[in-house]
Structure 1
Amino acid sequence: MKSQQLVDVLKERLPSEHFQWQFDRKTDKVRLEHTILKKGMDISLPEILAKYEQKKEAAIEEIVYTIDETFKAMEKENAVGFAESAAVYPVIRSTSFPQKSSAGNRFLTKDHTAETRIYYALDLGTTYRLIDESMLEAIGLSETEIMEAALFRVRALPIDMKKDEVSDNIYYFINNNDGYDASRILNSAFLKEMEEKIKGHMTVSVPHQDVLIIGDIRNDTGYDVLAQMSMHFFTTGAVPVTSLSFIYKDGKLEPIFIMAKNRLARREGRKK
């Protein structure tokens, strides 16, 4: 399939009198504008064509779904106001995670700790898309406004916890299966509330994006269990973040290394 053929297929799959398509052969991109919303997006064709070679029809369905859901989200933002809509959320990733999209666009990010970095995602209902600089114009907000809106939304998410006790140590598991469990580490009010009820050392773990673990560690066995637990989640999660845990104290997260014979080593982390 050639670029022009792909554009024709997308036009056929996304019929709308409100869409304007502009194909730039030099850059091999197509600009899709919504005439009512006055917003749009740039679509890199080589990236889709490469996926088409591997996944065939599934690649077409994937990009059509993403475009359709993105404009639906934009319509929702336009109707109720971006600040009030559930459009963007922060997501936690490892510092080794790419900072640019496959098309070469810089993702919107913010430093978090020595092990983690904050990315920002446009929620599409059943999935989300990481926000890169090419999307800022379409969204209509500055980077600072997106960061503030995302933080506001994650603080409003419900927090349901399960509790487990091992050798007098208590572990709280946040696993709401909404794609933003690890993001709740950014809810400073929640962490402070947990700190007040912790009797031992408070630990925080984000082994993958779909779980947040709060530990009330009261003895050496507790650290051993935490290390095994974090590594297990890290190796089984769909989007692993870090197998290291953090000591939380006075609003700061400090990565810890749990080594043999219950010895601990700490590495200074950056403040949230």
Structure 2
Amino acid sequence: MNSKKMVELMKEKLRNEPFTYHYDRKKDTLRIEDPNVEKGVTISIPNLIAKCEEKKEKALEEFVYYIKESLYAMKENHELSGKEKRIFPVIRSTSFPIETSDGIPLIYDEHTAETRIFYALDLGKTYRLIDKHLLEKEQWSPQHLKEMALFNLRSLETVIKEDHVAGNDFYFIRSNDGYDASRILNESLLQQFQKKITGDMVVAVPHQDVLIIADIQNETGYDVLAQLTMSFFASGRVPITALSFIYENNELEPIFILAHNRKKQD
């Protein structure tokens, strides 16, 4: 499927919604806005096509759902007070925008060379990233927001599935609550794994709905992890990074995994 057909398909799926559309041929992106609030979301068409080729109709349904919920959420005037327990950190790639479409700075912290930490108000089916204006409205400091979000993150239930390949152990955290990748910020969780891991502890957040922790014992383990992260990265609705991270001395360092070798990123 080419970009033109995908744009028309998206418009058809959203035909009953009062949205406007702008296709940028140069960037190959589709901007979808709600004229009632003059805000919107931008979709990478090649990314959407790739996901549809892999997940077929399900991928398109997920994107349509994400668009509708995101634009509906933009209509509401949100407050943080009284909703403190619904504030969480979210991990995004360093290419993710650091301001809203209106030019308002989002609240974020640096994390690794590949990732940043943003903060979100959970709205149930979707969430709103917290920006400078919203924080100033509540008269909260960024540090207060961060401490609150990390506390809430630690309170979430953690669902872990295991797999074992060629002497290597792989742990998948997929609780389906929208904050699986965020659990990479839970230091106590990482340290618990570190105590039982006997090989190299490698961590990956290919998209927002999975955290992979691996006990790598041999080169085959690195090859398997590279394939896993790339597969998850390509299929995730909100991809983050296909790189993995060595966890040593309570620090995360990105690594490249290439042809039976691992190299730390410069």
Shorter-chain TM band: 0.7 to 0.9
Shift of 1:140: 3.8
**RMSD, matched Cα:** 2.6
Q: Deviations over 1:80-106 (max 9, x none)?
A: xx5xx4221100000111111111011
- Residues 188/65 of structure 1: CA separation in 2 closer, same or farther (3 Å cut): closer
Q: Which ranges of structure 2 fall in alignment gaps of 5 or more residues?
A: 1-32, 42-66
Offset of residue 141 of structure 1: 1.6
2:261 equivalent in structure 1:
263
What is the CA–CA distance in structure 1 between the aligned matches of 2:239 and 2:68, rounded to whole Å? 27
Distance 1:47-1:202 versus aligned 2 partners, 3 A rule? farther
The amino acid across from 1:265 in the alignment is K
2: CA distance, partners of 1:255 / 1:203: 9
Any idea what the Cα deviations from partners look like across 1:23-78, whole Å, max 9, x if unmatched? xxxxxxxxxxxxxxxxxxxxx997944759xxxxxx9986554444835xx5xx43
Are 1:165 and 2:164 matched, yes or no?
A: yes
The residue matched to 1:150 in structure 2 has which SS?
helix
In structure 1, distance between residues paired with 2:187 and 2:232: 23
Equivalent residue for 1:150?
149
* Cα contact 2:181–2:208 (8 A) shared by 1: yes
Within-5 A mapping of 1:19-58: 48-49=37-38
Alpha-carbon distance change, 50 to 147 in structure 1, aligned in 2, over 3 angstroms: closer
Quick check: 1:70 aligned with 2:67?
A: no
1:242 equivalenced with 2:241 (yes/no): yes
> Partners of 1:158 and 1:61 in 2: how far apart?
25
Residues 203, 217 of structure 1: 8 Å contact kept: yes
Q: How does 1:103-114 map to 2 (within 5 A)?
A: 103-114=102-113
Partner of 1:177 in structure 2? 176
- Aligned-pair identity in percent equals 50
Evaluate the alpha carbon distance shift between residue 61 and residue 127 of structure 1 in structure 2; reply closer, same or farther with a 3 A threshold. Answer: closer
| Equivalent AA in structure 2 for residue 122 of structure 1 | L
Residues 89 and 120, structure 1, Cα contact 8 Å, conserved in 2: yes
Kindly tell me the number of residue pairs found equivalent between the two proteins.
210
What pairs with 1:88-237 in structure 2 (closer than 5 Å)? 88-237=87-236
Aligned amino acid, residue 70 of structure 1: H
- Given that residues 207 and 244 in structure 1 are in contact (C-alpha distance below 8 angstroms), is that contact kept between their aligned partners in structure 2? yes
Q: What is the SS of the residue equivalent to 1:136?
A: helix
Query: TM-score scaled by structure 2?
Result: 0.72
Q: Check whether the contact 1:70–1:124 (CA below 8 A) recurs between aligned residues.
A: no
Judge conservation of contact 2:161–2:172 (CA < 8 Å) in 1: yes
**Counterpart amino acid of 1:98?**
P
Q: Note the residue ranges of structure 1 that are not aligned, 5 or more in a row.
A: 1-43, 53-58
Cα distance, 1:101–1:190 mapped onto 2, change above 3 Å: same
Evaluate the alpha carbon distance shift between residue 62 and residue 151 of structure 1 in structure 2; reply closer, same or farther with a 3 A threshold: closer
Q: Structure 2 CA distance, aligned partners of 1:159 and 1:186?
A: 13
What's the offset of the Cα at 1:137? 2.9
Distance across 1 between alignment mates of 2:154 and 2:242: 24
Question: 1:264–1:141: structure 2 CA closer, same or farther, 3 Å change rule?
Answer: same
Is the contact between residue 73 and residue 128 of structure 2 (CA under 8 Å) also seen in structure 1? no
The 1:174/1:129 distance shift into structure 2, 3 A limit, reads same
Residue 17 of structure 2 is matched in structure 1 by none
CA distance in 2 between counterparts of 1:258 and 1:252 reads 18
Which amino acid letter does the alignment assign opposite residue 266 of structure 1? K
TM-score, length basis structure 1: 0.71
Aligned partner of 1:207: which letter? P
In the alignment, is the contact (CA less than 8 A) between 1:246 and 1:256 conserved in 2?
yes
Q: 1:129 to 1:163 in 2, by over 3 A?
A: same
The C-alpha deviation readout for 1:143-198, integer Å capped at 9, x for no partner, is: 11111111111111111100001111110000011000000000000100000011
Post-superposition, which runs of at least 4 consecutive aligned residues in structure 1 deviate over 2 A? 44-52, 59-71, 137-140
Q: Is the 8 A contact 1:204 1:245 kept in 2?
A: yes
Q: Which amino acid aligns with 1:238?
A: R
* Higher Cα Rg, which structure: 1
Amino acid of the structure 2 residue aligned with 1:100:
E
